[in-house]
Amino acid sequence: MRILRDQKGTITSYAAILMTLILLFTALGLDLGRAFLLKHQLQAMCDAASLAGASAVHAEFLYDDYGGIKGQILVVTVPLCDEYAQDIFNQNIAAAGFDREGVTVTSYHGWPFDANGDGYLDSYHAEITAEIRTRLLGPIMGMDTITVFSKAEAAVKQKEPLT
């Protein structure tokens, strides 16, 4: 019974448990906070790539039922939109120095599409997936990377058909 009532050294065991929890939550907060900031940078790069893809436009004639020209509409130029988007994305990745930050872009995909269903490609969609290497969670919990995903769409701004 005397052993159960003896409380010498209990503060040491509580302190050890508490310090472990504080270290774990600090590591979690720092790595997830860093991943949150880097995800927002990736989202900005994804937005820029989709805007660049949607900026590759040309005018296409609209025809009436009798074959007469009734106006023009702006549509994306398919060979150029991917080139523009990929170029802007590559420039942003190089400028951000992600290799120094421990970020690896695992996939980038972009494609034009018809957003309003009128049969003309008038928008551009971009998606980025990246792995962010953790700095503290890896040694503590074995969580070496955090995967982030960003996507963006940009549409060609249409005015009324030009006549």
Up-side HSE of residue 12: CA atoms within 13 Å toward CB? Answer: 3
- Residue range 6-22, pLDDT digits in tens: 667 778 888 889 998 89
Mean pLDDT value of segment 120-134: 91
- Is the model's pLDDT at 41 over the cut of 90? yes
**Rg (the chain; Cα; Å):** 26
- Is the model's pLDDT at 53 over the cut of 70? yes
Where do the domains of the chain lie?
9-155
Nearest 5 degrees, angle CA 97-CA 149-CA 131?
50
Angle at which helix 78-96 crosses helix 10-54, to 10 degrees, equals: 150
- Residue range 72-126, pLDDT digits in tens: 788 888 889 999 999 999 999 889 888 788 889 999 999 998 888 888 888 999 9
Residues 74-85, buried b or exposed e (16+ Cβ, 10 A)? bbbbeebbbebb
Among 29-33, 50-54, 68-72, whose mean pLDDT is lowest? 68-72
At a CB cut-off of 8 Å and minimum separation 6, what does 87 contact? 52
